[in-house]
A = this chain, B = another copy of it.
Amino acid sequence: MTTLTAPTRPVAAAEDVRPTRRRLGPGEPIRFGGLIGIAALLGAWVVGSATGLLDPRTLTEPWTVVETAGTLVENGRLQESLLTSGVRAALGLGLGVAVGTVLALVSGLSRIGESLIDGPIQVKRSIPTLALIPLLILWLGIGEPMKIITIALAVFVPVYIHTHNGLRTIEGRYAELAETLGVTRGEFVRHVVLPGAMPGFLLGMRFAVTSSLLALVVVEVINATSGIGHMITLASNYGQTDIIVVGLVVYALLGVTADAAVRFIERKALSWRRTLAS
């Protein structure tokens, strides 16, 4: 509208002077801050390897890892392993999450359910998965079902515990409220329990996704011909450090990505919360 003649003060550079108060919460999130630490880690690895501080025989150099990864991609082993493992982990994760959530609801909402379910689950999680494998092989054979169920068994524990805990720590006053509103049990579960336990459930999911990946290493030792876990096991049998490290890098990538995904969902789904973090 106005023609520019001379540089004037920018329009409405309204001052914004607020009382300064020591900030006690963590403050604004740093954009992509999570990557800084990982970048630093990566940097340390590169520098350590380049300066010879890290013995390449212990920890392969990053460039060798890239090279080896290239080879593995070329001959298709990496993609194949990723695909096989991905399907296994996803199926096991799905099954485990479903079972864990249902058990947590049953056990969280009824004391009888709890007294039957909770003890055995605590027993289960005290026992090394490795030690359960013989039983699982006996009952389920050495094929895919055994592998998927073993993954599901690793996954359902954190989902169960976190959801159960999340559910039990919903503020009692909300249950009171629901009672006065005359909601049915189903509505109570849907509108109060599930959203109230959601923070717990999602924290459980963060453990569940990594558990499903970690379980691959255990199950893919048995009668597997491909998969990331199989690849790592095989490579460590032969002392192929570079392939192991490729496998670990893949693990780290998958794990960090999956965790970030769950945390993203967390931020979206729990946007109603006003916490120290927000």
CB-CB < 8 A to A232: which residues of B? 128, 131
A123-B26 contact given A199-B169, A273-B169, CB 8 Å threshold: no
Q: Which of A9-17, A62-70, A74-82, A172-180 faces chain B?
A: A172-180
> Does residue A242 face the partner (Cβ distance < 8 Å to B)?
no
Is the beta-carbon distance between A119 and B37 smaller than 8 angstroms? yes
Q: How far is the CA of A254 from the CA of B149 in the complex (A)?
A: 25
Q: How far is the CA of A245 from the CA of B268 in the complex (A)?
A: 45
Q: Which range holds the interface residue count of chain A?
A: 35 or more
Copies of this chain in the oligomer: 2
Is the beta-carbon distance between B111 and A28 smaller than 8 angstroms? yes
Partner of A126, one of B41, B158, B213, B244: B213
> Does residue A38 face the partner (Cβ distance < 8 Å to B)?
yes
Q: Which of A83-91, A92-100, A160-168 faces chain B?
A: A160-168
3 tightest Cβ-Cβ pairs between the two chains A and B: A126-B255, A37-B119, A33-B115
Using CB atoms and an 8 Å cutoff, list the residues of chain A in contact with chain B: 21-30, 33-41, 55, 58-59, 108-112, 114-120, 122-123, 125-128, 130-131, 134-135, 138, 158, 161-162, 165, 167-173, 175, 178-180, 182-183, 185, 188, 192, 199, 203, 206-207, 210, 213-214, 217, 232, 236, 241, 244, 247-248, 251-252, 254-256, 259-260, 273-278
